[in-house]
């Protein structure tokens, strides 16, 4: 994940226990003016900011959740979350 980073077009903040991504420039491709990230997306985003390797994401998520899906399903969920964050433009390569 070393080649992924948080876009400088977003400000990431924690507000009342929620992780929020606020675009600095209004993007006409997306209706929302801010994004409230679920816990999984917030952990993945923090991992990207910390420069963690892709292989460390599973163990980082394990520390935050009591029950996790099977390893193959978990990796699929991680991959999908990364794709979603890329599509929105919160993370870039």
Does the structure show a pLDDT above 80 at 92? yes
Residues 10-16 have a mean pLDDT of 93
Query: Taking each helix axis from N to C terminus, what angle separates 71-88 and 39-50, rounded to the nearest 10 degrees?
Result: 80
Q: What is the DSSP string of 5-61?
A: EE-TTEEEEEETTEEEEEESS--TT-S-SSEEEPHHHHHHHHHHHHT--GGGHHHHH
pLDDT at 18: 94
pLDDT at 42: 93
pLDDT at 3: 82
Q: Give tens-digit pLDDT for 20-77.
A: 999 887 765 656 678 999 988 999 999 888 888 767 777 777 777 777 666 777 788 8
Return the domain boundaries, the chain.
Answer: 5-92
């Amino acid at each position: 994940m070393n080649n992924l980073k948080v876009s400088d077009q977003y400000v990431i903040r924690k507000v009342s226990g929620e992780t929020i991504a606020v675009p600095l420039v209004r993007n006409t491709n997306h209706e929302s003016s801010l994004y409230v990230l679920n816990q999984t997306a917030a952990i993945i985003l923090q991992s990207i900011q910390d420069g963690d390797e892709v292989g460390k994401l599973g163990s980082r998520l394990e520390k935050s959740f009591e029950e996790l899906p099977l390893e193959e399903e978990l990796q699929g969920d991680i991959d999908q979350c990364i794709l979603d964050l890329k599509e929105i433009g919160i993370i870039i390569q």
